[in-house]
Structure 1
Amino acid sequence: MVPLKRRKTVPSDTGSTGTDGGPTRFPQVVLFLLERKMGASRRAFLSKLGRQKGFQVEEVFSETVTHVISENNYGDEVRTWLHSQGGGPGRAAPVLLLDISWYTESMRAGRPVEILDAHKLQEQQTSETEVVLFLVSSYACQRRTTLDNQNSTVTDALSLLAENAELSEEDGRGVAFRRAAAVLKALPATVTDTSQLRGLPCLGEHSLRVIREILENGASSEVDSTKQSERFKALKVLTGIFGVGAKTADRWFREGIHDLHRLRASGQTLNRAQQAGLDHYDDLNQPVSRAEADAIGDIVRNAVVSVSAEARVALTGGFRRGKPAGHDVDFLVTHPEEGREVGLMPKVVSWLESQGFLLYQKITRNSYLESKDGPGRAASNMDRFERCFSIFKLPEGENRGAEEPETENASRTETARRWRAVRVDLVVSPISQFAFAQLGWTGSKLFERELRRWAGHEKAMSLSSHALYDNKQSRYLRAASEEEIFAHLGLEFVPPSERNA
């Protein structure tokens, strides 16, 4: 199908009048001329001609339109456009889709002529076998989603709308957009027409409207306006400060704080985390490379081994899923002997501080008790492990990958410091919960959400980053590996590299 060109929206000042602004001669007929393939100047000329003949010709499509006139378009193309305007099957009164020939004959006759079959739009002769349809499972945890995204233009747009919804604390709408994006990420080929999406799950009307507009016009007006929104741009900047959430950013925005300069001049009282986030804003909003993550991993392992030779350290998060870059680095620490992990965190943090690797750190204690706080309680994406939220001071020599050798011309006066700040989370888990913790901290966030949804809706189980509980049998299901957890859930094992929903 040839993409539909986005029509220009022009306010109408003559839409309900005929010659010289007088009343229309045919009030039961309300016309709209589709600009696609007709062109703006020809459409303007024909619209003016129609009004001079006493026809009501609208500039903007609305519920009052009874006849849509197009030139050189197929019926399915115009119906696709009509659906994007809210004029689909659910419309109170169906709209007639007519060829330009009916309009010109009506102009010659000076009245609406009888509608013949020849005046009706023809259907595109496309065999069903020529349309590539996709099939995917309803749950993201049943799908294999690699980093090879064939529909990034569309998924990036949906993700941006999800982010905007989340910044507005409209989590339900955000999840809907992210589920729609996840479906498209899992497709093995590029979507070229919305007909290929028939029967796919998680694609609501709003998401489909955005997808359709991008496929037809190459862009989404809603996405474009969101990008230009002062509120969105301000909240993006403010939530980019470590320690600042959507609520705080929204409050600051309403107080007139739209950027870092205004925040610094406002005299706002910041907590330790926010002050550190503001101090190191540029570094923390620069992507962390895989080479940098590996360098930090070496430092963390040295710290852990220095306090316990038997303890284990595992890289989690996006880097475990194979991502080449991320916004932070996550590590999971455990000990092969249950209980020996207790007390590790303060010692590891103390070692890192003594070596000058920490610019900021905050430790939270483990508050999870299986007997009291098991996964039978209300589902939550937040676990209760002992963890350290930190900002690392990564020396320059540690963060340069093999592809970035120092050159003779590298200016020593460009910067006085030879390090960069990086966000790092350290999490300590008992060995009995390690498989669940590793699964939960590997992500992606939507993949984990879908795992929990599958467990609850399909298996009557409760899954968290601590444990899996069978509500029917009233017992915990133990697991020493991620493979065992998937088996308990009746799911085919999905390796980390294919969890990029």
Structure 2
Amino acid sequence: MVPLKRRKVACPPAGNTGTTGGGDAGSIKFPEAVLFLLERKMGASRRTFLSQLGRKKGFQVEDAFNESVTHVVSENNSSEEVRRWLGSQNDQRAVHLLDISWFTESMRAGQPADILDRHKLQDESAHDNEVPLFSVPSYACQRRTSLANHNTALTDALSLLAENAELSKEEGRGVAFRRAVAVLKVLPEPVTSMAQLRGLPCLGGHTLRVIKDVLENGTSSEAEATKNSQRFRALKVLTGIFGVGAKTAERWIRLGIDDLQQLQQSGQTLNRAQQGGLEHYLDLNQPVTRSEADAIGEVVGRAVVSVSPGARITLIGGFRRGKPTGHDVDFLITHPEEGNEVGLMPKVVSWLQSKGFLLYQKTTRNSYLESDDGPAQPSSNMDRFERCFSIFKLDTGEGTRATEASGESGGEAAGAPEADPAPGSQVLSDDEQNPGAKPWRAVRVDLVVSPISQFAFALLGWTGSKLFERELRRWAGHEKAMSLSSHALYDGNQRRYVRATSEEEIFSHLGLEFIPPSERNA
């Protein structure tokens, strides 16, 4: 097989040598760029996927490194690491050593992108005799992360790149950026020099280049280019519609739909959630304040007590971590007697609907079953509790109380700042364009019902942050041979479920120091 590949390399018109059973003659559009993707730190499955993507775009991508390769693409490697690898291949040629960002930009452009400094792999700048300035544990669940952040310029740039990766369905890249952000957030002072980052975990080559760019120029050119790109702006607008995910937004963009006005004029069929999301777009993209969350909590609390006097309700999500604003409001409901939570959700939803508080709602049933053999699949952040996804009608009129279903006077008006109008928002209703003209606003509200036996796990899972929970599950699996979810903790070595009645117990079972909600803002 090796001689056959080499003969194909010597004759570019023969097709894409890295293709297995594919690549027709003449399918290579860019013979001047012969690519090899380094598997080290990238992983075999991701490398296979990206190699196939490159070939579909007309690039020549080699499965094995050989003398025809002109561009070596890697992920989270320094130039020193790649050069050492090249040395092990007995190759001393001058080839381009490129970060994966060059590859992804080339895929989007449909042709080889210009090679800029930010695409080139960088040498490690720190010397071996330098002492690390900060000591940061590898897992975010080992660290205390408050809302204070001394490196917002760095974390904002990396968070934007993470968001773009997530919207582009590049989950691995998004997680890598999020982990880097979490490390920077926990540092006790601002980063002013690359030398300060020596020894810190989760800071790959791409991340370090972004940080260096911000430190030297005040901004990240990559983050600015991403923020101003038409595709990112369109994805932000379209996924800002309640009920629209990245996959649907991508499909609309391929049809030439970039904003709300184009969507409304396109004749696309929308489901009920998307219709409600479009109708209340400005409200739902306006931050929700803590006072508004508390007002909604009073209403939901009244509903819960009315249908089940012994039931309990807890505000969860970012507000439980102390955040002053959020994009939605989440509540966890349970009953101290196991089994009494069954049937509670339909009654609460019915009460809220009868009082006119729900503009839209969709309820899912509890589908969790505990198996004696343990979880059938690795735990994830998606649980199977009974949930209600809703658009809540919050009374904000002066002199009214959100807790009064009849609309009688009293209480305080909400004071959340208005969001900037999105492209196409001019086609929304007059009330939506001028929120002050109506005495209420629409808010995203999620209700979750948990049995009391699973309440501690549900409370931990739904408090967040998302990365903190991901790191807890990673720690459980990699360090303790356990499986953690919002339902349970399973010990794989002892082949049994580990029970807990509090978050403190769960941390103890995992061998971790307890971290309160206010310090889980990874």
TM-score (norm 1): 0.72
Of 446, 453, 456, 1:425 maps to 446
Deviation at 1:485, TM superposition (A): 0.1
- 1:251-330 equivalences under 5 Å are 251-330=251-330
Q: Of the candidates 472, 480, 483, which is equivalent to residue 462 of structure 1?
A: 483
By how many angstroms is 1:401 displaced? 5.4
- Where does residue 516 of structure 2 map in the other structure? 495
CA distance in 2, matches of 1:311, 1:164: 41
Over 3 Å counting, the alpha-carbon distance change for 1:372 and 1:285 in structure 2 is: farther
Partner of 2:337: 337
Match of 1:442 in 2: 463
Give the aligned length.
Answer: 381
Deviations 1:379-403 (A, max 9, x none): 3210000000000000013578589
Matched AA of 1:192: T
- Matches for 1:381-420 after TM superposition, within 5 Å: 381-396=381-396, 397-398=400-401, 416-420=437-441
Cα drift, residue 281 of structure 1: 0.2
1:181-192 correspondence runs (5 A):
181-192=181-192
Counterpart residue number, 2:174: 174
Deviates further, 226-235 or 363-372: 363-372
From the CA coordinates, give the structure whose radius of gyration is larger. Answer: 1
Q: In 2, are the aligned partners of 1:375 and 1:468 still within 8 Å (CA)?
A: no
CA contact (8 A) 2:291 2:414 kept: no
Query: Distance between the aligned counterparts of 1:489 and 1:142, measured in 2?
Result: 11
Report sequence identity in percent: 74
For the residues of structure 1 that align with 2:323 and 2:314, how far apart are their CA atoms? 16
Larger displacement relative to structure 2 (218-227 or 373-382): 373-382
Three-state SS of the structure 2 residue aligned to 1:451 is helix
Describe the superposition over 1:52-75 as per-residue Cα deviations: whole angstroms up to 9, x where unpaired.
xxxxxxxxxxxx9xxxxxxxxxxx
Query: 1:289-326: CA deviations, max 9, x gaps?
Result: 00000000000100000001100000000000000000
- Check whether the contact 1:388–1:427 (CA below 8 A) recurs between aligned residues: yes
Counterpart of 1:459 in structure 2: which amino acid?
A: K
Task: Report if the CA contact (8 A) 2:179-2:467 is conserved.
Answer: yes
Q: Does 1:350 align with 2:371?
A: no
Change in Cα spacing, 1:262 to 1:218, as seen in structure 2 (3 Å) is same
Indicate the RMSD between aligned Cα atoms, in angstroms.
Answer: 2.6
> For the Cα contact (< 8 Å) 2:132–2:199, is it kept in 1?
no
Q: Which residue of 2 aligns with 1:151?
A: 151
| Paired residue secondary structure (1:378) | coil
Deviations 1:391-436 (A, max 9, x none): 000001357858959xxxxxxx985421000000000000000000
Residues 366 and 386 in structure 1, CA contact (< 8 A), matched pair in contact too: yes
Task: Please name the residue that 1:242 is paired with.
Answer: 242
The structure-2 alpha-carbon separation of the partners of 1:424 and 1:477, relative to structure 1 and needing over 3 Å to count, comes to same
Q: Deviations over 1:467-497 (max 9, x none)?
A: 0000000000000000000000000000000
Partner of 1:137: 137
Distance 2:349 2:322 in 1: 27
- Paired residue type of 1:476: Y
Question: Where do 5+ consecutive residues of structure 2 fail to align?
Answer: 1-69, 71-77, 84-91, 95-124, 403-410, 417-433
Aligned to 2:198: 198
Please give the alpha-carbon distance, in whole angstroms, between the structure 2 residues aligned to 1:274 and 1:402: 28
CA distance in 2, matches of 1:442, 1:489: 18
**Residue of structure 2 equivalent to 1:35:** none
Shift in Å, 1:216: 1.1
- Superposed, 1:60-209 pairs within 5 Å as 133-209=133-209
| 2:505 aligned partner | 484
Residues 429 and 374 from structure 1, CA distance in 2 versus in 1: closer, same or farther, beyond 3 angstroms?
Answer: farther
Following the alignment from structure 2 to structure 1, what is the Cα–Cα distance between the partners of residues 271 and 312?
A: 33
2:88 corresponding residue in structure 1: none
SS at match of 2:300: helix
The aligned runs of 1:356-395 (5 Å cut-off) are 356-371=356-371, 374-375=374-375, 377-395=377-395
Distance in 1 of aligned mates of 2:157 and 2:231:
18
> Secondary structure in 2 aligned to 1:370?
coil
Given that 1:313 and 1:334 are in contact with CA atoms closer than 8 Å, whether structure 2 keeps it comes out as yes
C-alpha distance in structure 2 between counterparts of 1:183 and 1:311, whole Å = 39
- Residues 191 and 416 of structure 1: is their aligned pair in 2 closer, same or farther, counting only changes over 3 Å? closer
Structure 1 distance, partners of 2:435, 2:163, is 35
What amino acid does structure 2 have at the position aligned with 1:146? Answer: S
- Alpha-carbon distance change, 276 to 414 in structure 1, aligned in 2, over 3 angstroms: closer
SS of corresponding position for 2:394:
strand
CA distance in 2, matches of 1:284, 1:90: 47
C-alpha separation in 1, matches of 2:519 and 2:194:
25
For 1:366 and 1:414, how far apart are their aligned partners in 2? 36
Letter paired with 1:353: Q
Distance 1:317 1:225, change over 3 A: same
Q: Is the Cα–Cα contact under 8 Å of residues 488 and 498 in structure 2 kept in the other structure?
A: yes
Q: 1:208 to 1:386 in 2, by over 3 A?
A: same
Work out whether residues 292 and 398 of structure 1, in 8 Å CA contact, stay in contact via their aligned partners in 2.
no
SS in 2 for 1:219: coil
2:230 paired residue number: 230
8 A Cα contact 1:244 1:274, kept in partner = yes
After superposition, the Cα gap between the structure-2 partners of 1:373 and 1:426, relative to the gap in structure 1 and judged at 3 Å, is farther
TM-score norm. by structure 2 comes to 0.69
Conserved 8 A contact 1:375-1:463: no
Moved more, 353-362 or 371-380: 371-380
Deviation string for 1:349-408 (max 9, x for gaps)?
Answer: 000001110000000000001127953522321000000000000001357858959xxx
1:499 counterpart letter in structure 2: R
Amino acid at match of 1:417: K
Kindly provide the amino acid, as one letter, of the partner of residue 467 in structure 2: L
Does residue 473 (structure 1) correspond to residue 497 (structure 2)? The answer is no
1:292–1:401: 8 Å Cα contact kept in structure 2? Answer: no
The whole-number CA distance in structure 2 between the counterparts of 1:486 and 1:292 is 31
